[in-house]
Structure 1
Amino acid sequence: MKLSSIQRFWISFILTIPMIIQMLAMPFHWMMPGYNWIAFVTTTLVMLIAALPYWTSGWVAFKNHHANMNTLVAIGTGIAYFYSIFAMATGREVYFESADFIAVFVLLGDTMEERMHNNASNALKKLLDLQVKEADVLRDGKFVQVPLSQVKKGDIIRVKPGQKIPVDGVVTKGSTTVNESMVTGESMPVRKKVGDTVIGSTINGDGAIEFKATKVGNETVLAQIVEMVKKAQTSHAPIQNLTDRISGIFVPAVLIIAIVTFVVWFVFLGATAVNAMLFAVAVIVIACPCALGLATPTALMVGTSRAAKMGVLIKDGQALEEINAVKTIAFDKTGTITVGKPVVTDVVGDQTQTLQVAGSLESSSEHPLAKAVVEKSEGEQVKLLPVTDFKAVEGQGVTGKVDGQKTFVGSLKLAEDTQVPQEFKEQASKLQNEAKTVVYVGLGNKLIGLIAIQDTPKKSSATAIAQLKARGLRTVMITGDNEQVAKVIAKQVGIDDVIAGVMPNQKSAVIESLQKDGQKVAFVGDGINDAPALTTADVGIAMGSGTDIAIESGSIVLVHNDLRGVVRALSISQKTFNRIKLNLFWALIYNVIGIPIAAGVFVGFGLTLSPEFSAFAMAFSSVSVVTSSLLLNWTKIEDAGD
């Protein structure tokens, strides 16, 4: 049975415990009975469980004439392990713990990275889970439920109120409103009538419809989104780890220095072969990549932990590198910049009377706009009155009697028999120019007020976007909503550019076009329709209140559903990645200082490093790296403010 990275790590860590105990006991001059044999057996097992894959990778890299991080691990563990066997056989000091700790520390880093990527494969499954399992299909003159896989092009399908639409098609009978926000980004329910298209997996509203299936199986919009996410997840080239780049120079240099050290001492300075080898081993031991193995995972662990406390979940190391080079941040509109649901923004006329009449009448309706009116009425503590003769007028609004008087709430067409004062006409025109939906409220034969409804920006959006622009970043809105609404919202929050009327397959294409201009692009979104764009972008940032698929597709998740989290994400990602680079510096500076000493360059001044002291210096470099990473807990993180 093949072991996972985390299983290999825990088994290796348990096998390392005897050496940890011995190291802790050394200051008390206590030696574990049979320690060398215990260390030999446990380290051999660790080499087989933890180090063998690195040895294999290092050997493949060697055959291809290059070096990587695994080359360092293979050389570090191999030299320490095989020399310790030699030392054990000749009665010398052993260094099994060096080989053991190198393998375990590096494997810990790989385990942490693997766990951060585990959720990526769940995204496609959650997309597919959105599909309904069955559909009401007309067969032999009556509707019967059949599995979705049996639905064919041309089938007539019936959908009742509240049900999901199974596949893409064209309405042939009835009318309804459909919530398409999860696919198109349109914030308001869309009215559908005969001849209009419907999209599979969107939610039917208040009417029963029949439609003709035009796209089934892999041709549906949802299936195409799945395919795009799949391609986007595999299109990113693996991040080129800084340690690998360093290794390409560092490993050959260390090997050459070790060989030169042995030759100089043995051939030119007359040292014995064993003493010359000890100098060479000291060079390789002090150059062992323990600190290099810790440089990235420790900073990542501390940085992501602190980020999580600030409501920012960073899911992979690639985001840390990519976000430092981001020049453009693109946003979805609905639920990302805006609240994500319609709210009352303006009341024209006597507010109390208008809200009382409208709230009373709309309390019997299930329409999203009606809910916004009722919530506003209740929020203003307006007393709602009993309603009789309630009636929904398709596509226009509702009518009824409130306190015995005829009333209506709805479109201008519903108010066509009522005289509209000039003041109301001017106000209605002004509100519509602001991309707000205007509802007319009538009592008796008189128009008493107007109510404007809109999906408004979150209070923090303008602040966050201003902060991003202050950092020199370009901001872009990419939305499926109409251009007028999008531009109004963009102006309110300070967005630079607007790209509206964009379908899901076009969103990822827009991101790609921005990337082709040489820009590193981050995308912020929350809906199912944002999944392809989130995975196509160099950095995908998902709102925590969004759909599971959006959260899975994003490499960074903002738990608090607040765009100020984007500023925090940028800041903490940059700080963490800069800390990784600092850690790499500390990991290497000991080698720059220690390698000449270990090679015996300063032996004439009485300054030498035996293999055991080299191992100590290596351990101290690891402590420095860990300490450097822990300091991230106190590093100031830029915030957009409250």
Structure 2
Amino acid sequence: MNNNPEILRFRIDGMACGACSARSQKALCKMKDIDSATVSLADGTAQVRPAEGALDNGLDAFIQEVTDRVDKLGFKASYLPPDVDEHDLWESEQEKTRADLAVRRRHLVTEFIFAVPLVAVAMGSHWGMPLPSWLSPHDSPLIFALFQLLLALPIIWSGRDFYRHGIPLLLRGAPNMDSLVAMGTGAALLYSLWSTLEIAAAASPEEAHQAVMGLYYESAGMLIALISLGKYLEAVSRTRTSEAIRGLMELTPEQVERMLPDGGVKEIPVRAVMPGDRLLIKPGSRIPVDGVVASGASSLDMSSLTGESMPVDVAEGDEVNAGTLNISGAFVMEARRVGSDTALARIIHLVREAQGSKAPIAGLADRISLYFVPAVMGVATAAALAWLFFGNLPFGDALRVFVAVLVVACPCALGLATPMSIMVATGRGAQLGVLMKNGTALEASGHLDTIVFDKTGTLTEGSPRLVSLHAEGMDENEALALAAALEAGSEHPLARAVLGEAEKRGLSTSTVEDFCAVGGAGVTGRVEGHELLLGNERLLADHGVTLSSEQKALVVSLADDGQTPLLLARDGALVSVLGVADPLREETPGVIRDLRAMGCRVMMLSGDNERTARAVASRAGIDDVVAGVLPDGKEKVVARLQSEGRRVGMVGDGINDAPALARADVGMAMGSGIDVAMEAGDVVLLRGLPGVKTALGLGRATLSNIRLSLFWAFAYNVLLVPVAAGVLLLFGGPAMSPMLAGAAMSLSSVSVVLNALRLRTFR
């Protein structure tokens, strides 16, 4: 996992649209003490990488420098420490979100309570709705205007944040969506107030009636209500993107039973658990922290953490991880890693970090959003002036064009398109056991056309096993017992394979005399008076043991099948041939087949000899094999593929494959060793090989989702801005109402969020 202390996270409050996040990011990147920065509108965070030497004066000084810079932009920044408890952080964010939604809901109710009658009064005569004479624009124009003003004032007060945020940013030369709304509704309000004064000062009913035509209180009021509704729906939808985090958080129990020195138990909060504490884990309860089984045995459901569908048996000395479910027996565990140090907490941190990151494809939208708002202001002003001076429209109608253009072109949808898709996709990936470290890895996964696999521990299980046993002149178990007796003193992986099979069969071994290990050849010794040899053909040849043609054919056949032959000779004659191999993972052939169906070129790299490597590759369904390569050689193979224009994904165990993982466009680390894997790759595959398909499929689905959102965001502005500017008027059509513009703008943002949420159903 990328828990790099040099990457600092900040929460940024007050951002309203893509222009806000783009401007904040640009300002941070310009700071001399910052190497790089990304600001995400979707989750309101910034990730900052300090430049070389930036922390020499202390972390506090750097944090203050960043927060001051953000504050000058009109936003509020606060530092998120890397060691903060993820559960506490999530709870505080959820509480803040709930409070924010409650405030928005109250404002929304207020605005619509007054906006609906405001529109009814203002437009009633146009719609054939009778108004009492005391409220009629013909009989009582001043009361008609003042009544609308009274209805509009609570709406303006409820939506005051548009002005409180938008106007200062406009004065700083950094306008955002709130600035557009503030300018549009503010212009309509000011003109309506002026018209109200004209009605009050009118010398005749005709003048008063003419001034009534300049009232646009209903446009300003309903516009604020509709945009607030859109922002509320958007906020509600965005809360659903955190469901992946919520699901992970709920895997940790709140209380746990701690063993007392007298043998009793005491229930304590999980956050009070310390390393070394002994905890009683009952059937049906979840493991609260990482640790080891101190006594007892059970079966664990680890699907929530690793995706492993079958229960895993654990006994004394075995490791257990927070979030896994105890299925059967009760046991006592000793806590080792607690709080933010658990594997589950680090996974949650990784997902949060990825959700706040950006993909390269977001750069285009950011650059456009940065300059879009000033451009919209220019277009709105030019359109209004053109209609006023050259189109002979009344000032009020030209003002409606101005307001409609400002509102309809708010770049919310543009700024949300990419970060919303990334947030949902990384959360969905975590649910499926694929941890994307950042948006760049997610996007790059969607472009991959070549997948390179390490062999040992990736395509294979990583632990050699005895897979065949041929005996001549004696029973198989007798031959295996002799081989195990010789290997008892060896730590070689082949020896462990032989000993493991003997132990599995319950065989007892004799004592070995005169044991000798022959480097690169095998072992020798004396058992019950018999001279024994166990090793390769060279060992037997050196001791004068010759093989018949049938025996040689058997050895060649085993080697061709990817097995390492171990030859056992007793008293100068071959009595057994044992075949040891690292078996393929059960899912390997299916994964390779599916990747090919997705259009990917598949290659295998191995340090084994050519014959063994090709035998394994053949069983896996891989034709493209490079054998006999060291770790640096694997990196060179990846580099060569990239020089040919291939987009390369490297899948390895995260240890000896580190150079190749780093070189690849996307390094995918098997998550069987969580600590190592989280450091090694761009993507962590908690569920093993099937995660490769998930990563590619999710990357492609996310790119498609982002492109669709960006297309509609761009198309929306390309189509509706000219309509709002009055293009239809040139052909005798209608002008766009500011209220319709506000509804369309809100709908565009909500549609982008809903499109991103489709990724939650990715399979």
Interval of TM-score (by shorter of Structure 1 and Structure 2) = 0.5 to 0.7
Q: For residues 103 and 22 of structure 1, do their structure 2 counterparts lie closer, same or farther at Cα, with a shift above 3 Å needed? A: closer
CA displacement at 1:524 relative to structure 2 = 1.7
Match of 1:387 in 2: 511
Match of 1:23 in 2: 108
1:132-175 Cα deviation digits (max 9, x unpaired)? xxxxxxxxxxxxxxxxxxxxxxxxxxxxxxxxxxxxxxxxxxxx
Q: Distance in 2 between matches of 1:237 and 1:621?
A: 22
Residues 1:460 and 2:590 aligned together? no
Residues 1:358 and 2:483 aligned together? yes
Counterpart mapping for 1:306-455 below 5 A: 306-349=428-471, 350-379=475-504, 381-389=505-513, 391-395=515-519, 396-399=521-524, 407-412=532-537, 414-415=539-540, 416-417=542-543, 419-422=545-548, 423-434=550-561, 436-443=563-570, 446-455=573-582
Match of 1:44 in 2: 164
Q: For residues 510 and 366 of structure 1, do their structure 2 counterparts lie closer, same or farther at Cα, with a shift above 3 Å needed? A: closer
Q: For residues 615 and 536 of structure 1, do their structure 2 counterparts lie closer, same or farther at Cα, with a shift above 3 Å needed? A: farther
Letter in 2 for 1:353: E
CA displacement at 1:582 relative to structure 2 = 1.6
Q: For residues 82 and 284 of structure 1, do their structure 2 counterparts lie closer, same or farther at Cα, with a shift above 3 Å needed? A: closer
Counterpart mapping for 1:484-523 below 5 A: 484-523=611-650
CA displacement at 1:262 relative to structure 2 = 0.9
1:391-427 Cα deviation digits (max 9, x unpaired)? 3424244455656755443344554547455133332
Q: For residues 281 and 576 of structure 1, do their structure 2 counterparts lie closer, same or farther at Cα, with a shift above 3 Å needed? A: same
CA displacement at 1:579 relative to structure 2 = 1.4
1:533-560 Cα deviation digits (max 9, x unpaired)? 2232222222212574553342222211
CA displacement at 1:451 relative to structure 2 = 1.1
Match of 2:288 in 1: none
Q: Distance in 2 between matches of 1:516 and 1:412?
A: 42
Letter in 2 for 1:377: A
Q: For residues 39 and 270 of structure 1, do their structure 2 counterparts lie closer, same or farther at Cα, with a shift above 3 Å needed? A: same
CA displacement at 1:239 relative to structure 2 = 4.9
Q: 2:420 aligns with which of 289, 298, 303?
A: 298
CA displacement at 1:449 relative to structure 2 = 0.6
Contact kept? 1:534, 1:554, Cα under 8 Å: yes
Identity across matched positions, percent: 35
Q: Distance in 2 between matches of 1:14 and 1:85?
A: 28
Q: Distance in 2 between matches of 1:270 and 1:525?
A: 71
Decide which moves more: 354-363 or 618-627.
354-363
Match of 2:654 in 1: 527
Counterpart mapping for 1:85-234 below 5 A: 93=220
Letter in 2 for 1:343: R
Q: Distance in 2 between matches of 1:277 and 1:501?
A: 75
Counterpart mapping for 1:243-282 below 5 A: 243-244=365-366, 254=376, 257-271=379-393, 273=395, 275-282=397-404
Contact kept? 2:559, 2:611, Cα under 8 Å: no
Q: For residues 452 and 445 of structure 1, do their structure 2 counterparts lie closer, same or farther at Cα, with a shift above 3 Å needed? A: same
Counterpart secondary structure, 2:604:
strand
Q: Distance in 2 between matches of 1:419 and 1:553?
A: 47
Contact kept? 2:671, 2:687, Cα under 8 Å: yes
CA displacement at 1:499 relative to structure 2 = 3.0
Counterpart secondary structure, 2:657:
helix
Counterpart secondary structure, 2:580:
strand
The two structures have a TM-score, normalised by structure 2, of: 0.55
Contact kept? 1:15, 1:42, Cα under 8 Å: no
Q: For residues 78 and 483 of structure 1, do their structure 2 counterparts lie closer, same or farther at Cα, with a shift above 3 Å needed? A: farther
Q: Distance in 2 between matches of 1:467 and 1:2?
A: 38
Q: Distance in 1 between matches of 2:152 and 2:645?
A: 61
Contact kept? 1:344, 1:372, Cα under 8 Å: yes
Q: Distance in 1 between matches of 2:680 and 2:417?
A: 27
Q: For residues 341 and 529 of structure 1, do their structure 2 counterparts lie closer, same or farther at Cα, with a shift above 3 Å needed? A: same
Q: For residues 251 and 41 of structure 1, do their structure 2 counterparts lie closer, same or farther at Cα, with a shift above 3 Å needed? A: closer
The two structures have a TM-score, normalised by structure 1, of: 0.64
Decide which moves more: 418-427 or 308-317.
418-427
> Which ranges of structure 2 fall in alignment gaps of 5 or more residues?
1-7, 13-43, 46-75, 78-92, 116-150, 194-216, 246-357
Q: Distance in 2 between matches of 1:32 and 1:375?
A: 82
Q: Distance in 2 between matches of 1:450 and 1:622?
A: 70
Q: Distance in 2 between matches of 1:515 and 1:453?
A: 36
Contact kept? 2:110, 2:158, Cα under 8 Å: no
Letter in 1 for 2:713: A
Match of 1:542 in 2: 669
Residues 1:595 and 2:721 aligned together? yes
Q: Distance in 1 between matches of 2:381 and 2:114?
A: 35
Q: For residues 237 and 605 of structure 1, do their structure 2 counterparts lie closer, same or farther at Cα, with a shift above 3 Å needed? A: closer
Q: For residues 618 and 240 of structure 1, do their structure 2 counterparts lie closer, same or farther at Cα, with a shift above 3 Å needed? A: closer
Q: Distance in 2 between matches of 1:429 and 1:532?
A: 34
CA displacement at 1:608 relative to structure 2 = 4.6
Match of 1:558 in 2: 685
Match of 2:740 in 1: 613
1:161-207 Cα deviation digits (max 9, x unpaired)? xxxxxxxxxxxxxxxxxxxxxxxxxxxxxxxxxxxxxxxxxxxxxxx
Counterpart secondary structure, 2:645:
coil
Letter in 2 for 1:586: W
CA displacement at 1:288 relative to structure 2 = 1.0
> Which ranges of structure 1 fall in alignment gaps of 5 or more residues?
60-73, 117-235, 638-642
Decide which moves more: 518-527 or 264-273.
264-273
How many pairs does the alignment contain? 492
Counterpart secondary structure, 1:529:
coil
Q: For residues 272 and 387 of structure 1, do their structure 2 counterparts lie closer, same or farther at Cα, with a shift above 3 Å needed? A: farther
Contact kept? 2:484, 2:502, Cα under 8 Å: yes
Letter in 2 for 1:568: T
Match of 1:627 in 2: 754
Q: 1:79 aligns with which of 162, 177, 180?
A: 180
Letter in 2 for 1:44: R
Q: For the pair shown, which has the larger CA radius of gyration, 1 or 2?
A: 2
Counterpart secondary structure, 2:470:
strand
Q: For residues 24 and 371 of structure 1, do their structure 2 counterparts lie closer, same or farther at Cα, with a shift above 3 Å needed? A: farther
Letter in 1 for 2:513: D
Q: For residues 538 and 421 of structure 1, do their structure 2 counterparts lie closer, same or farther at Cα, with a shift above 3 Å needed? A: closer
Q: Distance in 1 between matches of 2:642 and 2:176?
A: 40
Q: Distance in 1 between matches of 2:565 and 2:631?
A: 29
CA displacement at 1:245 relative to structure 2 = 7.2
Q: For residues 366 and 501 of structure 1, do their structure 2 counterparts lie closer, same or farther at Cα, with a shift above 3 Å needed? A: closer
Contact kept? 1:292, 1:587, Cα under 8 Å: yes
